[in-house]
Amino acid sequence: MKLLVVDDDPDLLALVAFALTNAGYAVVKATDTAEALARFEAEVPNLVILDINLPSGSGFDVCKAIRARSAVPVMMLTARGDEEDLVRALELGADDYLTKPFSPRTLLARVKALLRRSGIEAGDTVEAGRVLLDLEAHAISIGGGAPVRLTRLETRLLQILVAQAGHVVSAERLLAHVWGHRGSGDRQLLKQLVHRLRQKLERDPAGADLLHTESGVGYRLKI
């Protein structure tokens, strides 16, 4: 599980990274808006922790840019607890916020809760519309129908698509989530996995009523 932490305070950045690393998360760090967006594109994190006050822009700018291309969970950090800031962050698509100062224990609890709500934390049942995915049983039910057994790779692919249902998920992010790498030569693996899922789940595999291809970008689960 990879988290991107963005803050221009080196002490706080080190503290947050230490707490998250000790909890078993892989942490990617950035200190300004440009670095944050570059790291987001390169590392494909599962969650972003983002300070509002940043050099050369603001956390609002980064949140808006991330939300324009991804539905990845975003937690905003604010030193003021200003209601106007919080409302603006949520309107831009942030999923949660945390007011400074905070304890590592509080941070970890909020991160875990946000990952659970987003359907990313392992061990959850993920639901979106008519789709119910059981991550532990490796099975999916559609429209209340009988569960369909899945392989581990199929489950990992559907985990992120169901969690981000209705949004396009890039091929790069899917490759990173399922296999842990994003090589361009691996896109054929992804296509084969999607094809196999369509054969299992679609009434008309050629029609792609559930798993929709966004040409040149990635895939979207239609709900």
Assess whether the previous peptide bond of 101 is cis (omega < 30° from 0): yes
What whole-number distance in Å separates Cα of residue 172 and Cα of residue 190?
A: 10
What whole-number distance in Å separates Cα of residue 81 and Cα of residue 99?
A: 6
Pair 100, 59 in one domain? yes
Pair 108, 37 in one domain? yes
Pair 174, 82 in one domain? no
Listed residues 117, 149, 182: the one ending a domain: 117
Listed residues 60, 87, 117: the one ending a domain: 117
Q: Are 132 and 125 in contact (CB under 8 A)?
A: yes
Tokens linked to 99: 């007011």
Pair 49, 142 in one domain? no
Pair 98, 157 in one domain? no
Pair 83, 152 in one domain? no
- Decide: pTM greater than 0.95: no
139-189 pLDDT, tens digit each = 999 988 899 999 888 988 998 899 888 889 888 888 877 876 555 557 888
41-76 pLDDT, tens digit each = 888 888 999 999 898 889 999 999 998 877 788 999
Pair 145, 166 in one domain? yes
141 backbone φψ class: left, alpha, beta (φ>0; ψ -120 to 50): beta
What whole-number distance in Å separates Cα of residue 120 and Cα of residue 80?
A: 29
Pair 196, 216 in one domain? yes
Average pLDDT, the chain: 86
What whole-number distance in Å separates Cα of residue 210 and Cα of residue 34?
A: 36
161 backbone φψ class: left, alpha, beta (φ>0; ψ -120 to 50): alpha
Pair 112, 20 in one domain? yes
> Which residue's structure tokens are 């050099």?
55
Cα–Cα–Cα angle for 208, 210, 216, nearest 5°? 60
What whole-number distance in Å separates Cα of residue 207 and Cα of residue 107?
A: 44
Distance of alpha carbon 133 from its chain centroid, rounded? 16
For residue 129, give its domain range. 125-221
DSSP code string of 2-68: EEEEE-S-HHHHHHHHHHHHHTT-EEEEESSHHHHHHHHHHH--SEEEEESEETTEEHHHHHHHHHH
Answer yes or no: is pLDDT of 108 > 90: yes
Pair 6, 105 in one domain? yes
| Phi, psi for 128 (deg, rounded to 5) | -150, 115
Pair 113, 6 in one domain? yes
CATH (domain of 179): 1.10.10.10
Listed residues 92, 117, 142: the one ending a domain: 117
Number of independent structural domains in the chain = 2
Residue 180, SS3? coil
When pLDDT is cut at 50, 70 and 90, the band that residue 106 belongs to is very high
DSSP 208: -
Question: Could you tell me which of 53, 11, 46 has the C-alpha nearest to residue 32?
Answer: 53
Pair 88, 11 in one domain? yes
CATH (domain of 38): 3.40.50.2300
Residue 152, SS3? helix
